[in-house]
A and B are shown apart, each in its own frame.
Chain A
Amino acid sequence: MEKPSKTPIPHPRELLFPAVFLGVLLLVPVGIVDFYPISSAPMFNEEPQVYCDYQVVDAAGQELPLEWFHLQRNDNGNPPGFGHGKVPRFSVDRLGKIATEEEILEAVRAGMKEHQIAGPLVVEWLTIGDLDGTHVGVLKANKMTVTAP
């Protein structure tokens, strides 16, 4: 004779948690991009066509940190503004956008004031984008010398 099982008969109520949980994970991202642990997984959802590489050098030829002059790269492939609790340090750099010379000048001068640097500083920036339909590379190289206002 078969030994009776001591295990309880499964009840459909054990499906309630996964059903509600998966429903939330599926539907909430319709209205909210990122609300950890819920996410619409927006990694790399933009389509940048250009970006800029910056370099700041002082009169002695020493390279200075881009963060000082608001030229650092805040992008990491995720759309900024969602899923992080702090506002990142301001930067004129943004993947897919080319800052104007005035914007760069203003940002560098603000940094010089913050760090009490008289200058002159040499700011160089390269614009990277589609070169020839096959490769990406340097489209334009710019340079300017900035002194404290």
Chain B
Amino acid sequence: MKKDLLTPLFSWLLARHPATFGRLFEATVVFWAICLSTYLPTTQSTQRISGPSNGVATILSWMPRTLLDSPTLETAMVAGVWIVGACWLLQRFLPYSAWLTAMLFTLAWALRHENMGKTIHVHHVTTNLLWLLAWWRQCTMSEYRLAKAQGNPISGNYYPEWVFQACLAWVCIFYGWAGWSKLCESGFDWANGISMQLWTRLWGDAGFFATQWVLDSRPLAFLLMSLSLALEALAPLAMIPLLRPWIGAGLIGMHLGIVTIFGWGFHGNMLYIVLLMLPVREWLETGEFHFLSLLGLPRAHRVRLAGFLRQGGPATRPS
């Protein structure tokens, strides 16, 4: 009985699809990982500090402090990410280049966290996507080789459904936690408007028009905070296809605000949301682009709705 329940789920998750979307998403994640690792050597003098240990911060906290404090080790990890990341982008030495990119990227950033006096979160989503994508390439190496031999290295059927669902689930978990941690720490009072105006005054781009809008209007600041809280806390609902584009569009809007007003490096996260939550995969797999797919409607309903809109009313059966 239990097996009967799981069989359709496993069949769905293990089903293979053309890898076009997977390869585009993989290239985006790996490219952004290379960009994020490049940030590390450029900020060694400003972000790394000396001083007493703050206790457990990363998976490397058990290592001797002399090793953790070495900027050379961090630079070596970054150089490693550039080399193996480039190999992954060029589809060379797979799946080893994929595993090594995930490992070195994680270690490079862990070393940075170990030497900072405050934390940042621009790279967490990328780190864990790298691990999921490395596992994909590990599991489907023989299928990839076959597709390559048949002349379909990009569009061959070696993209399992679970890869898309797992990447989407991780993004949902991360943003879900962002909302839940606000609710746990501050409750619904978090969305008060004043805090956002203070952060905007402190760190916002004073020359940008939206910065002035936020500073000049408490109701706008309150609305933006309320929407951010709702979108983040409800982000896991994006696992439901019907709600996905709506939550995705909201989160993209939130990130556009963060990137343009504050200039913080969440560009990669925004791209991942575009690729995973807007119907990009469907557009690539079917070759069809229709604005109605942005509504999250299943294809059959969209075809009916598109026909309805074209005719200006319900279709009538010929007599």
Please list the residues of chain A having a beta carbon within 8 angstroms of any beta carbon in chain B.
Answer: 5-8, 10-12, 14-15, 17-18, 21-22, 25-26, 29, 33-37, 39-51, 74-89, 95, 128-130, 133-136
Give the CA-CA distance A34 to B185 in the complex, in Å: 14
Q: Does the CB pair A43–B54 fall under 8 Å?
A: no
Q: Shortest beta-carbon distance, B70 to chain A, in Å?
A: 13
> Which B residues between 195 and 212 are near A, CB-CB below 8 angstroms?
195, 197-199, 201-203
| CB neighbors of A among B42-61 (8 A) | 49-54, 56-59, 61
What distance in Å separates the Cβ of A59 from its nearest Cβ neighbour in chain B?
A: 30
Determine whether B37 belongs to the interface, using a CB cutoff of 8 Å to chain A.
no
A25 with B173: CB separation less than 8 A? yes
Known A47-B192, A79-B185, A135-B216: A18·B49 in contact at CB below 8 Å: no
Q: What residues of chain A lie closer than 8 Å to B115, measured between beta carbons?
A: 85-86
Contact indicator A78/B146 (Cβ below 8 Å): no
Q: Shortest 8 CB-CB distances between A and B: which pairs?
A: A88-B117, A83-B119, A85-B114, A41-B178, A18-B166, A36-B58, A10-B14, A45-B185
B267 CB within 8 Å of chain A: no
Inter-chain CA distance A37–B130, complex, in Å, is 12
Instruction: Give the residues in chain B near A81, CB-CB below 8 Å.
Output: 54
Given A36-B59, A36-B109, A86-B52, the answer on whether A43 and B186 have CB atoms closer than 8 Å is: no
Residues of B within 8 A of A130 (CB): 194
* A84 CA / B181 CA spacing, docked (Å): 18
Whether B96 is near chain A, meaning CB under 8 Å from some CB there, is no
Residues of chain B within 8 A (CB-CB) of A134 are 216-218
- Docked pose: A136 CA to B202 CA in angstroms: 11
Interface residue from B120, B139, B180, B192 paired with A14 (Cβ < 8 Å): B139
State whether A36 and B215 are in contact (beta carbons under 8 Å apart), knowing that A7-B142, A41-B121, A47-B195 are contacts in the complex: no
Asked if residues B189 and A88 are in contact (CB atoms below 8 Å), the reply is no
Contacts of A78 in B (CB 8 A): 118-121
Q: A42-B185, A136-B197 are in contact. Are A85 and B218 (CB under 8 A)?
A: no
- Per DSSP, chain A at the interface is loop
> Can you list 7 A-B pairs with a CB-CB distance of less than 8 A?
A25-B170, A35-B58, A40-B181, A48-B195, A49-B194, A84-B113, A84-B116
> Most chain-A CB neighbours within 10 Å: which of B68, B142, B174?
B174
Min Cβ gap B212→A in Å is 11
- Most chain B CB atoms below 10 A, which of A50, A129, A130: A130
In the assembled complex, B169 has its CB within 8 A of some CB on chain A: yes
* B residues in contact with A75, CB < 8 Å: 118
Closest to A50 in B: B198
Is B195 within 8 A of A49, CB to CB?
yes
Given the interface pairs A45-B190, A78-B119, the reply to whether A88 lies near B202 with Cβ below 8 Å is: no
Contacts of A6 in B (CB 8 A): 142, 146
Minimum distance in angstroms from A26 CB to a CB of chain B: 5
How distant is B259 from chain A, measured CB to nearest CB, in Å? 14
B177 near A41 (CB under 8 angstroms)? yes
B135 touches A36 (CB 8 A): no
Of residues 91 to 118 in B, which have CB atoms within 8 Å of A's CB atoms?
106, 109-110, 113-118
One digit per residue, 1 when the CB lies within 8 angstroms of any chain A CB and 0 when it does not, for chain B 160-194 equals 10100010011001110110111011100110101
Query: Within 8 Å of chain A (Cβ to Cβ): is B293?
Result: no
Assess whether B16 is interfacial by the CB under 8 Å rule: yes
Is the pair A136, B194 in contact by a Cβ cutoff of 8 Å? yes
- Knowing A36-B57, A36-B124, A37-B106 touch, does A84 contact B52 (C-beta < 8 A)? no
Known: A37-B127, A45-B186, A86-B115. 7 other contacts (CB 8 A): A14-B160, A21-B166, A37-B109, A37-B110, A78-B118, A82-B119, A86-B50
In the complex, chain A residues whose CB is within 8 Å of the CB of B50: 86
A50 — which chain B residues lie within 8 A by C-beta?
198
In the complex formed, the residue of A with least CB distance to B218 is A134
User: Do B128 and A21 touch (CB < 8 A)?
Assistant: yes
